[in-house]
Amino acid sequence: MYLNNIRPRRNRKNHAMRSLMRETILTVDDLIMPLFIVEGKDKIIPVDSMPGINRFSRDLIVKEVKELWNLGVKCVSLFPALDDSIKDRLATESKNPDGLLQKTIKDIKDACPDMLIMTDVAMDPYSSDGHDGIVCEKTGEILNDETLDILSAMALSQAQAGSDIIGPSDMMDGRVGHIRETLDSEGFHKTQIMSYTAKYASAFYGPFRDALDSAPKAGDKKTYQMDPANLTEALREIELDEAEGADILMVKPGISYLDVIAKMKERTNLPVAAYNVSGEYAMVKAAAEKGWIDGEAVSLEMLTSFKRAGCDMILTYFAKECAINFAKN
């Protein structure tokens, strides 16, 4: 008789009760919107493999940022799509104070000063080789220590332009400490570092590389990005990034790595982020276009799963859509 009185369904009986009992709450405050930038004026170039996502010229990205701010999105992450003519093997353009990224940061800060700006630190958008580090011309090896000075100079240039959060995504050993030391030595003590702590050599990145035309020209990124089969290795990366001065730790991709997110949250007192990457976004959009799933419901379920696993913030291409839906409801 006693067992028949235990009915968990009483706590699910209607919408009001389910809302009252809800353990994990996703809000617009949790979301960071990635944005792609191109040179020119009055340009909106769709990313074919990411329906609803565009590359914006500087003038129009400011308009987009203002709209995001009004919807409640408080942080954007910027990625420049550059012409091959200004790329070289040492990513020289990455530290140009008058470069596309640097000018865009200033434009956004002038127009929407309270919007937080995150910027990516890796050589691939600027490299003629398409890799995150320097490629040895003789062996093809990605040179770790030789890359660190370039990454630090890139990070400093971004901070000088007004970036609030530096995001090293390169997965070179020691880069967080090297960047932190450079920023501090130049007076940028308040500039945060969100380290891509566990960035996996994933098959989910294809649409992003299309958007930036940044795929490796030869080889792959498996000697520096993590093996998708590994979890314990990510715990080692946590310890290193904490010791080197990271302010926020990130797992990338997200949906196939919820176990990594949960373990990371258990192991650190730092905020934890996930990157809901381009391939994850594209799969939802493609299935929704076919009518096979409810895209809006699936995206919210996916993002809620990141929160449930322990994320404090989520980089996601769904950020604007979600913000619009939150505003309606």
Catalytic residues: 199, 252
> What letter does residue 13 receive in the DSSP assignment?
S
Query: How do 313-316 and 272-276 pair as beta strands?
Result: parallel
Give helix then strand counts, H and E, for the chain: 11, 12
Burial of residue 123 (CB within 10 Å: 0-12, 13-18, 19+) is: buried
Distance CA 114, CA 173 (A): 33
Give the SS3 label for residue 43.
coil
C-beta of residue 197 within 8 angstroms of C-beta of residue 237: yes
C-beta of residue 261 within 8 angstroms of C-beta of residue 234: no
From first CA to last CA, the distance across the chain in angstroms is 42
Residues contacting residue 281 through CB under 8 Å, at least 6 positions apart:
50, 53, 207, 316, 317, 318
Total length of the chain: 329
